[in-house]
Amino acid sequence: MLNNWLKTTLLMAAIVALFGVVGMLVGGAPGMLVALLVGGAMNLWAYWNSDRMVLRMYGAREVGPADAPELHAMVAELAGRAGLPMPRVYIIDEAQPNAFATGRDPAHAAVAATTGILGLLSARELRGVMAHELAHVKNRDTLISTLSASVAGAISALAQFGMLFGGGRERPNPVAQLAVMLLAPLAAMLIQMAISRAREFGADRGGADISGDPEALASALRKIEAYARGTPLVAAEAHPETAQMMIVNPLAGGQGLAGLFRTHPATEQRVARLLELARRRL
């Protein structure tokens, strides 16, 4: 767990540093200052509004004990085991089996599951998935993911601005500047993906601890991966920056350049780690 936190800290530092470099190339030292101010404002807005924005993107509807008694009771039981406040519970009317957590902190958290995952998994497997999502909440991964996504988006916007309007007086070789402007958004995306992958392993382990059943989550991941590949998730395709939030990559065509552009670790690696954890508990 500590290793994952160290990786995340270093990756977040790298993406913030990249943001400053792009700002410097666009407008020199003043440009870097403006870039950091804009980035700070974006992060502040994302901190307060990201959960509502994402839930609206996916057309999620909140459910209570009367609407989804089994799911609601399951989340309540797991939240109690994790020592967390009861999160809001949402259902998304989508055939692809998937789930995510959002919210700036445990007191303002929400978990969402698609109708596809509710129909596909057994109660035991679904419990493993919900435990995984609550581990994200407990580790505050939802905030980290939001901040990394917003800064990565700001880097792309800055790079486009620089290509359109040129840099400041302090800019270096124009060819070098153009190369950075083209490569910076790609670098930001790769760092963002690395942050997401580091956090998923931690949430798998944390979810196994919360549920006490690593094999259930492993079985769920196998099923979700198999079914999600052939079932599009329209909202995720329209907003690919949210793909990192899902328990399994929801995007189609994610097999090329696998090591670089995956939003999640390979499912077989996650399953292997969970099964190893289960063997150690015997």
Average of pLDDT values for 239-257?
A: 76
Residues facing 90 on adjacent strands: 62, 112
| In the chain, where the domains are located | 2-281
- Give the least confident one: 40-54, 195-209, 226-240, 268-282: 40-54
pLDDT score recorded for residue 132: 98
- 99-102 and 110-114 strand pairing: antiparallel
Single-letter code of the amino acid located at 3: N
Q: Where are the alpha helices (DSSP H) in the chain?
A: 2-57, 69-82, 115-120, 123-138, 141-165, 174-211, 214-228, 234-238, 258-261, 267-281
Average of pLDDT values for 194-215?
A: 89
pLDDT top residue among 37 and 134: 134
pLDDT score recorded for residue 192: 64
Active-site residue set:
133
pLDDT score recorded for residue 256: 47
> What CA–CA distance (Å, rounded) separates 40 from 81?
35
Nearest to 128 by CA among 244, 212, 72, 250: 212
Q: In what order do the strands lie in the sheet with 110-114?
A: 61-63, 88-92, 110-114, 99-102
Contact criterion met (CB below 8 Å) for 100 and 149: no
pLDDT score recorded for residue 281: 82
53-69 pLDDT per residue, tens: 889 999 999 999 999 99
Average of pLDDT values for 137-151?
A: 74
pTM higher than 0.75: yes
Backbone angles phi, psi at 82, to 5 degrees: -85, -10
Q: What is the band of 82 on the pLDDT scale with cuts at 50, 70, 90?
A: very high
Average of pLDDT values for 80-93?
A: 97
pLDDT score recorded for residue 191: 66
